[in-house]
Amino acid sequence: MPELQDTWSWLPAIYLFLGGLSGGAFLTVALIKLFKPGKFKTTVMGGMWIAVAALAVGLFCLIAEVEKPFQAIVMFQSFVNFGSWMTIGAWILFAAFIVFLLSALLATDKVTDWLAKSWKKLPEIQGTLGKVLAIIGAVLAVCVAVYTGILLGAAPAIPLWNTWLLPALFTVSAFDTGLAAVLILAAFVERDGAFAPIRDLLEKVVMGLVVLEAIVLAAFVATMQGGGTNEAVSVGILTSGQLSGQFWGLVVVVGLALPLAAALAQVLLSRKREDKQVAVALPVAGGACALVGGFTLRFVVLAAGIHAALVSPAVLQAVEGISIFL
Amino acid sequence: MGKQYGFYADTSRCIKCWACEVACKQWNGIKAGTIARRKVHEIDSGKFPTPTRTFISMSCMHCAEPACEKVCPAGAISKREEDGIVVVDKNKCIGCHYCFFACPFGVPEYTDAGMDKCDACLGNGVKIDEGEMPHCVATCPTKALHFGPMDELREMQSQKTAKKVVSDSTRPSFLAS
């Protein structure tokens, strides 16, 4: 039985999850802000703060994983090789955090009221500034989401990670979990009918994302099973090995099937009711399941990423005449 | 670019005495029970009644195109112009472990000081440009392990049955026979 990858522990898994959630949440509320200007302010503000908090905690986990965290945070010294995806990603994350934070501050009335006292022009330009930040932030949010997958995908010695399907999978999951977080928030703060059409649309988007994620996940598993021995051994850990319980139970059933059922139920139930309202429990339960599934996906993919030199030395040895026993 | 230096392991001569591993640890001041820059591996093949055991001493392969150098965010890994030896600047290394995921041989290991791997004994004062040998090679009692410019090593290897070393993407400076 192959041993699980432990060079990177569970801290990067938390980052991969929270980074994706942050990008997905910001993208969702930025689109609401741009297409429904001035509406659902509480959700937009809350979603932005979720994005800021998730990214802050995620970055903290990432920094805590390295051997010299205090040296790593001196970014202009430690992230200088732009041929490395980690360098590009680090600066993207840095930029995204600043834009997310500024957007969140600008969307918070208490902050803008206080600022307007000394910065008289603020109320005039606040709308435009918010829009510009939302657009830049939305682009960075997509980059943050994609980068969670690229970080692993750009590691050539890990057969399970070294495919473009991994960034695709993590990106879809990022949008899915970010949207779930915003929908949970909206279930509590948007209790009037005005949000109902938006909710209906977003639940349909959830369904689309779940189906898309299932397709990408299936393609990922099938590609690995059909790849070399290393790939098959690694993906076997997920489908039938040590992590198969987490994979089938938490990623597939809890993370995909249940959110799909919850979204479907909401769309169908809201049609039957005059006020288009649904119980709080349904979006909250569906969203929570999506979050559990999203986190477990990052955790199992990270843990099953065994180094090529460690996967199947016996097989390599037979093929190449020589191999490495570490 | 100058010459590319590398290692050549002759499995027909290796008796698995671990002298190279011990010399490496001694000369580079590596604490017992921690990491090992050089390791002697054993490969079992064949079945009863003709099983064979092959021993091979391996360390960093000082690849022509090091994957570790490419992925290092801090620019702590570099390939020396004069001899092609891949070295680590531990002061720059932040210990992110990304190079382990890039190296096809899983060579990088980590201590509190940063990433640690073979530097062909440049760090402990061996002058390879003056023909001095890294301590693993100098200590090998059976002359199974060799170090030098790749063209000279290829010449030595051609006298024996060459074995292929896995990984073509990084072009390792390591020969085996």
Tokens of A232: 């098959």
In whole angstroms, what is the distance from residue A23 CA to residue A174 CA? 7
Q: Mind listing the pLDDT tens digit for each residue in A289-300?
A: 999 999 999 999
Supply the pLDDT for residue A311.
55
Percentage of chain A surpassing pLDDT 90?
A: 68
Supply the pLDDT for residue B168.
65
DSSP at B122? G
Query: Is the preceding omega at residue B49 within 30 degrees of 0, hence cis?
Result: yes
- Please say whether the dihedral angle defined by the alpha carbons of residues A47, A53, A56 and A60, taken in this order, is positive or negative: negative
Strands B39-45 and B174-176: unpaired
In whole angstroms, what is the distance from residue B141 CA to residue B17 CA? 9
Please indicate whether, in this complex, the C-beta atoms of A324 and B92 are within 8 angstroms of each other: no
Which residue bears the tokens 């009863």? B48
Of A68, A158, A325, the CB nearest to B101: A158
Supply the pLDDT for residue A321.
42
Tokens of A27: 């993208």
Q: Mind listing the pLDDT tens digit for each residue in A189-234?
A: 988 778 888 888 999 999 999 999 999 999 999 999 998 888 888 8
Task: Point out the residues of chain A with pLDDT beneath 70.
Answer: 1, 274-278, 310-326
Residue of B nearest to A75 (CA): B74
> Are A75 and A95 within 8 A, CB to CB?
no
Contact list, A316 vs chain B (CB under 8 Å): 166
> Are A122 and A102 within 8 A, CB to CB?
no
ipTM for the complex shown: 0.87
Nearest partner of B168 among B83, B77, B67, B98, judged by Cα? B67
DSSP at B60? -
- Three-state DSSP at A37 gives coil
Q: What Cα–Cα distance (Å) separates residue B78 from each residue in A97, B63, B65, B75, B84?
A: 31, 11, 11, 7, 9
Q: What Cα–Cα distance (Å) separates residue B67 from each residue in A82, B38, B102, B161?
A: 14, 19, 6, 28
In whole angstroms, what is the distance from residue B156 CA to residue B143 CA? 12
Q: Return the CATH superfamily for domain A10-320.
A: Formate dehydrogenase/DMSO reductase domain (1.20.1630.10)
CATH of the domain at B89: 3.30.70.20
Of B74, B100, B101, the CB nearest to A80: B74
- Residue B64, Cβ density class (10 Å: 0-12 exposed, 13-18 middle, ≥19 buried): middle
> Are B14 and B40 within 8 A, CB to CB?
yes
Tokens of A250: 């938490």
Q: How many domains does chain B have?
A: 1
Residue of A nearest to B95 (CA): A67
Of A8, A83, A309, the CB nearest to B70: A83
Q: Residue B163 CB: number of other CB atoms within 10 A?
A: 19
Which residue range(s) make up the domain with B129? 5-176
Question: Using beta carbons and an 8 Å cutoff, which residues of B are at the interface with A?
Answer: 11, 39, 41-43, 45, 54, 56, 58, 67, 70-75, 92-98, 100-106, 110, 112, 114, 163-166, 169, 176
In whole angstroms, what is the distance from residue A25 CA to residue A43 CA? 11
In whole angstroms, what is the distance from residue B98 CA to residue A67 CA? 12
C-alpha distance from A61 to closest chain B C-alpha (Å): 12
Please indicate whether, in this complex, the C-beta atoms of A79 and B103 are within 8 angstroms of each other: no
Of B58, B73, B106, the CB nearest to A81: B73
**Biggest CA pair distance of chain A:** 76
Q: Mind listing the pLDDT tens digit for each residue in A58-92?
A: 999 999 999 999 999 999 999 999 999 999 999 99
Please indicate whether, in this complex, the C-beta atoms of B110 and A67 are within 8 angstroms of each other: yes
Contact list, B67 vs chain A (CB under 8 Å): 156-157
Supply the pLDDT for residue A313.
47
| pLDDT tens, per residue, chain B with 177 residues | 578 999 999 989 999 999 999 999 999 999 988 999 998 888 777 788 988 888 888 899 999 999 999 999 999 999 999 999 999 999 999 999 999 999 988 899 999 899 999 999 999 999 998 999 999 999 999 999 999 999 999 999 888 887 777 666 788 899 888
Supply the pLDDT for residue A276.
59
